Amino acid sequence: MSGVSSVLGRKVPWRDRQGRLSALKAAVFALLFAPAAVMIGTWLGGGYGLTPIVPLIYWSGAAAAWLLLATLFVTPARRIFRQNRLIAVRRMLGVASLAYTLGHLAIYVVLRGFDAGAIFAEITSRLGIAAALLALAGLLALGATSLDATIARLGPVAWNRLHSMVYIVAALAILHFVMAPGSGGGLPFLMVGVYAWLMAWRVLERFRLGTRAPVLFGLALVAALFTAGFEAVWLALSHGYPALETLRFNFSLELGPSAAWRVLALGLLVAGAAAALGHGGRPSPARR
């Protein structure tokens, strides 16, 4: 009986592989409930108005997408901040993203009144919904193959190859968010910029440049410019907004900080941390 208790103790999310309490894992595990707590609190407090299910769909999907992006940030954070222990929470973030995605789907089904015909019609007529279902299928596959037994059976090479699918899954999730009704700016394009930064960082890291502060400062600027350009082109094509006018608002602060400014701020924050840690002109250490 004590042996079973020992095994179960190691399996709980807030313990490490040796069964010891991990402050990092416990803190992250607790924080994963924060989006749900905020949404429920706002709902019960009447903050979502007379039709709370619509903002609940929006924010549950946003939480799922941000958690997916957080899983992609684990590797850059490990190398830039010299915190290899962050790898311990990557699986937890991925599972949480799947949980919020399933919640997002459940709320959508409720909104559609459990009408399978209406849901099928929407899937076949809206590319954004189709992208969401493909992302969900990918997340389910990633979640099902994240068990220790599955990893051991597949082997590290095959498992890593399979889990590189997370890049496509994240792209589909963000595409769904950008194509959602009412996504005429702001948060969806912030996600686009963060995703662009994460993907570009991986290219730079292949050349062992991913921790060099000057390179990261340049990456912040490029990601911000990409965000502004993407938003201008997307809104021009999808909503008919004048691209130059969108760019003008993106580079000004008339309507508050745009997605591009926020991407720049986040990128500069990471680059500043790299500089503070002494990542100057030296290349990254060899990848292990």
What are all long-range contacts of 199-202, with beta carbons under 8 Å and residues at least 24 apart?
A: 199/167, 201/76, 202/75
pLDDT of residue 4: 38
Does pLDDT of 6 surpass 50?
A: no
- Quickly state the pLDDT bin for 184 (edges 50, 70, 90): low
Q: What is the pLDDT of residues 208-261, one digit of tens each?
A: 999 999 999 999 999 999 999 999 999 999 888 999 999 998 888 887 899 999
Residues 223 and 261: beta-carbon distance below 8 Å: no
User: Could you write out the DSSP letters of every residue in 72-84?
Assistant: HHHHHHHHHTT-G
pLDDT of residue 280: 60
Does pLDDT of 134 surpass 70?
A: yes
Residues 94 and 147: beta-carbon distance below 8 Å: no
Mark residue 212 as left, alpha or beta (left: phi above 0; alpha: psi -120 to 50; beta: remaining).
beta
Q: What is the pLDDT of residues 147-156, one digit of tens each?
A: 766 767 767 6
Does pLDDT of 158 surpass 70?
A: no
Least confident of 20-24, 30-34, 82-86, 159-163: 159-163
**Three-state DSSP state, 15:** strand
State the pTM of this model: 0.89
- Encoded amino acid at 6, one letter: S
Q: What is the pLDDT of residues 43-52, one digit of tens each?
A: 999 999 888 9
CB atoms within 10 A of CB 163: 19
Does pLDDT of 136 surpass 90?
A: yes
**Three-state DSSP state, 59:** helix
30, burial (CB in 10 Å: exposed 0-12, middle 13-18, buried 19+): exposed
- Closest to 132 measured CA to CA, from 140, 116, 235: 140
Does pLDDT of 162 surpass 90?
A: no
Q: What angle do CA 168, 30, 101 make, to 5 degrees?
A: 30
- Alpha helix positions (H), the chain: 2-11, 23-31, 34-44, 53-80, 90-111, 116-125, 127-144, 148-154, 156-163, 166-179, 187-206, 213-239, 243-251, 259-276
- Encoded amino acid at 285, one letter: P
**Three-state DSSP state, 1:** coil
**Three-state DSSP state, 47:** coil
Higher pLDDT, 269 or 10: 269
- Encoded amino acid at 14, one letter: W
Higher pLDDT, 115 or 267: 267
Percentage above 90 pLDDT, the chain: 61
